[in-house]
C-alpha cells in the first residue's frame, strides 16, 4: 500500500503533469508540422523543380523498374527513400526553429536576477551589499562614518 501512496504523490506532482501535457501538445504540434511540410512547403518547391513529388523520390536497389515508391514497396523491393528523407529534414528544421523561438521567448519572460554592487566584509570576508554598514554574517561594523550619519529615531512623548 505504501508503494501506491508514493506513486500517487509522484504522479500528482506538478512536474509529471506538466511533462504529460507537454508530450500531448508536442504530438499534436508534430502532426501540424508534418502537414505543413508535406502539404504546403514541399509542393511549391517540387513545382519549382519541375513538378517533383519529393515523397516519390527514391533509388531502386533491385533490378526491376517500378513506376512509384508505393509500387516498389508493394513488390518488396529494396529502396533508398531520399525524398522522404528530404521531407524529414524540412520537418526537423521547422520543429527546431519553433523550439528555438519558444525557448527564446520563455527566457525573455523569466526575470533576470537583479545584480547589486557588493563588497567584502573585512572581518569575516563574506560578500555583502555595498550599501551595508553592518555585516549580516558576523555583525561587525563596517564603516563608522555611515553609521554615524544614520540617525536614530527620537522618541518624543507628548504629555498634555
Do 126 and 79 lie in one domain? The reply is: no
Outline where DSSP puts E strands in 29-138: 59-60, 79-80, 118-120, 127-129
Do 104 and 32 lie in one domain? The reply is: yes
Are residues 86 and 103 in contact, defined by beta-carbon separation less than 8 angstroms?
no
Do 49 and 98 lie in one domain? The reply is: yes
- Count of domains in the chain? 2
Do 51 and 75 lie in one domain? The reply is: yes
pLDDT tens sequence across 10-23: 777 767 778 888 89
Q: Does residue 160 sit within a domain? A: no
Distance between CA atoms of residues 84 and 88, nearest Å: 6
pLDDT tens sequence across 94-111: 888 888 888 888 888 876
Residue 78 pLDDT level (bands cut at 50, 70, 90): very high
Do 123 and 91 lie in one domain? The reply is: no
Q: Does residue 159 sit within a domain? A: no
The phi and psi torsions of 47 (rounded to 5 degrees) equal -65, -40
Distance between CA atoms of residues 2 and 8, nearest Å: 10
| % of the chain beyond a pLDDT of 70 | 85
Do 105 and 129 lie in one domain? The reply is: no
Q: Is the dihedral of CA 38, 40, 46, 50 positive or negative?
A: positive
Please state whether the predicted TM-score (pTM) of the whole model is above 0.75: no
Residue 77 pLDDT level (bands cut at 50, 70, 90): very high
What lies within 8 Å, CB to CB, of 98 at 6+ separation is 29, 33
Are residues 38 and 55 in contact, defined by beta-carbon separation less than 8 angstroms?
yes
Distance between CA atoms of residues 34 and 30, nearest Å: 6
Position 155 pLDDT exceeds 90 = no
Do 105 and 132 lie in one domain? The reply is: no
Amino acid at each position: 500500500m505504501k508503494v501506491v501512496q508514493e506513486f500517487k504523490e509522484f504522479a500528482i506532482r506538478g512536474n509529471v503533469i506538466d511533462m504529460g501535457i507537454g508530450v500531448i501538445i508536442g504530438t499534436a504540434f508534430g502532426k501540424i508540422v508534418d502537414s505543413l511540410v508535406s502539404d504546403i512547403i514541399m509542393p511549391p518547391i517540387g513545382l519549382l523543380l519541375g513538378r517533383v513529388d519529393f515523397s516519390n523520390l527514391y533509388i531502386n536497389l533491385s533490378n526491376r523498374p517500378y513506376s512509384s515508391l508505393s509500387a516498389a514497396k508493394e513488390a518488396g523491393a529494396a529502396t533508398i527513400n531520399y525524398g522522404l528523407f528530404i521531407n524529414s529534414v524540412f520537418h526537423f528544421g521547422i520543429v527546431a526553429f519553433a523550439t528555438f523561438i519558444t525557448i527564446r521567448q520563455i527566457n525573455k519572460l523569466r526575470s533576470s536576477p537583479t545584480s547589486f554592487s557588493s563588497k567584502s566584509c573585512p572581518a569575516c570576508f563574506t560578500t555583502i551589499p555595498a550599501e551595508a554598514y553592518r555585516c549580516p554574517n558576523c555583525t561587525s561594523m563596517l564603516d563608522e562614518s555611515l553609521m554615524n550619519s544614520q540617525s536614530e529615531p527620537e522618541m518624543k512623548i507628548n504629555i498634555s
